[in-house]
């Protein structure tokens, strides 16, 4: 029985098929063994899912003694289905190449769209050196240049950048200048020799002239450099321009002195520190007409001019107002000074110039008051003339912190300088 089964599996006779031979191999009970396939070969009882179904007719006709044998069964309208699974090869296990190509194409198209929207490409060749706005040293190492984009949260009610925003740009370029030159120690702009002696920089005086205010989306270019200021001071100047047009936005100059971080007393400049910063001194000045006379206290009248005085009390610094030197940042003082300025000036005028004279540092627990004296405004309320103000920021105990003098001009209408979207009257 077994011999006939094997012979019929490999050498089927005429008029018979592997299926017929397999059916003839039933056991004595009349049932076909489950472990035999249609060809009589041991097969797996459960074919894997997704296996290909191969029709018996698709097989090539076997030959017996050179004669083709017809494998059709006795029932022509029924076709036996043979389970077939493709062999697992490396090529068959690869993903569908068409889907992979479509995914890669989609990713590249999305990336190209975002690249186009960014539009970072520089309009000038030298912009390539400062693509990400980190700044660079130019003019034989004596000038540091950095670009800033005016953000939406840096503009005010008239859609132009505030003076505090511009002052923050000045401070940022000053620190980055020291860092790029390799002179940054472990302090806030202090050099390595200053850090060894526990010295820090403190500002003594700042003067700035504003010609126009940039708007949201404008790119400003800030140049800064340093020079000597007497025996124990250093002068730092800035020149801010519009990156696209080259027009001047702001010019500023400042004087810095050294203070001991522990004793909080002013200190002379050591020779080692002078040797560090001396090679970077530049004799050029951003403002030639510097404010030389002493600033007057609010309430002082000159030549009988009519004045009005305004006061704002109860000003206290927040934790976020302190810098790493544990005192109030010098830019914060500007906001406090303008707290006491009348709202009519802020609405219809813009700051044209400011001079600040820093007298004493302000700590976390200080309570201050701001005083402003307005002069130059016409008695009938006309706002077409320039206005001058004297400011004083002092502790409630009476010690002076900052004295300032500001000059204001009427806001320009649309198209007369500031690139706003509406006239100044509707600010």
* Residue 169: closest CA among 98, 243, 113: 243
Structure tokens that stand for 140 in this block: 């034989």
Q: Collect all residues with Cβ–Cβ distance below 8 Å to 304 and sequence separation of at least 6.
A: none
Q: Collect all residues with Cβ–Cβ distance below 8 Å to 181 and sequence separation of at least 6.
A: 137, 141, 144, 280
**Enzyme catalytic residues:** 325, 327, 362
Q: At what angle do helices 163-180 and 330-339 cross, to 10 degrees?
A: 170
How many Cβ atoms from other residues are within 10 Å of residue 115's Cβ?
Answer: 11
- Chain centroid to Cα 374, Å, comes to 40
Cα–Cα distance, 419 to 218 (Å, whole number) = 9
Asked if 229 and 208 count as a contact pair (C-beta separation under 8 A), the reply is no
* Residue 188: closest CA among 207, 208, 174: 174
Nearest 5°: the CA angle 392, 162, 379 is 55
- Chain centroid to Cα 356, Å, comes to 31
């Amino acid at each position: 029985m077994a011999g006939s089964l094997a012979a019929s599996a490999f050498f089927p006779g005429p008029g018979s098929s592997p299926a017929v031979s397999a059916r003839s191999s039933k056991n004595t009970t009349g049932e076909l063994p489950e472990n035999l396939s249609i060809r009589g070969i041991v097969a797996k009882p459960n074919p894997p899912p997704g296996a290909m179904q191969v029709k018996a007719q698709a097989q090539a006709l076997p030959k017996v003694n050179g004669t083709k044998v017809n494998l059709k069964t006795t029932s022509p309208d029924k076709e036996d289905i043979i389970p077939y699974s493709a062999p697992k090869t490396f090529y068959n296990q690869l993903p569908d190449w068409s889907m992979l190509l479509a995914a890669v194409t989609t990713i590249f198209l999305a990336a190209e769209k975002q690249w186009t929207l960014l539009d970072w490409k520089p309009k000038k060749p030298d912009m390539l050196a400062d693509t990400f706005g980190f700044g660079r040293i130019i003019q034989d190492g004596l000038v540091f240049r950095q670009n800033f984009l005016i953000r939406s949260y840096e503009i005010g009610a008239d859609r132009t950048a505030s003076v505090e925003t511009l002052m923050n740009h000045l401070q940022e370029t000053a620190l980055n200048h020291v860092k790029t030159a390799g002179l940054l120690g472990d302090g806030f702009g202090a050099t390595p020799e200053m850090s060894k002696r526990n010295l820090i920089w403190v500002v003594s005086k700042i003067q700035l002239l504003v010609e126009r205010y940039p708007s949201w989306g404008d790119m400003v270019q800030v140049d800064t450099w340093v020079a000597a200021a007497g025996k124990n001071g250093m002068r730092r100047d800035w020149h801010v321009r519009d990156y696209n047009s080259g027009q001047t936005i702001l010019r500023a100059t400042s004087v810095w002195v050294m203070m001991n971080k522990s004793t909080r007393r002013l200190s002379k400049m050591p020779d080692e520190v002078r040797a560090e910063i001396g090679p970077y001194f530049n004799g050029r000045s951003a403002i030639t007409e510097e404010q030389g006379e002493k600033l007057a206290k609010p309430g002082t009248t000159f030549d009988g001019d009519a004045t009005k005085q305004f006061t704002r009390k109860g000003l206290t610094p927040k934790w976020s107002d302190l810098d790493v030197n544990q005192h109030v940042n010098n830019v914060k003082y500007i906001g406090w000074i303008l707290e006491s300025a009348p709202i009519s000036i802020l609405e219809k005028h813009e700051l044209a110039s400011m001079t600040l004279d820093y007298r004493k540092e302000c700590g976390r627990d200080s309570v201050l008051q701001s005083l402003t004296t307005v002069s130059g405004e016409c008695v009938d309320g006309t706002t077409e003339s320039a206005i001058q103000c004297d400011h004083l920021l002092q502790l409630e105990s009476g010690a002076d912190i900052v004295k300032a003098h500001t000059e204001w001009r009427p806001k320009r209408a649309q198209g007369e300088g500031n690139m706003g979207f509406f006239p100044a009257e509707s600010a």
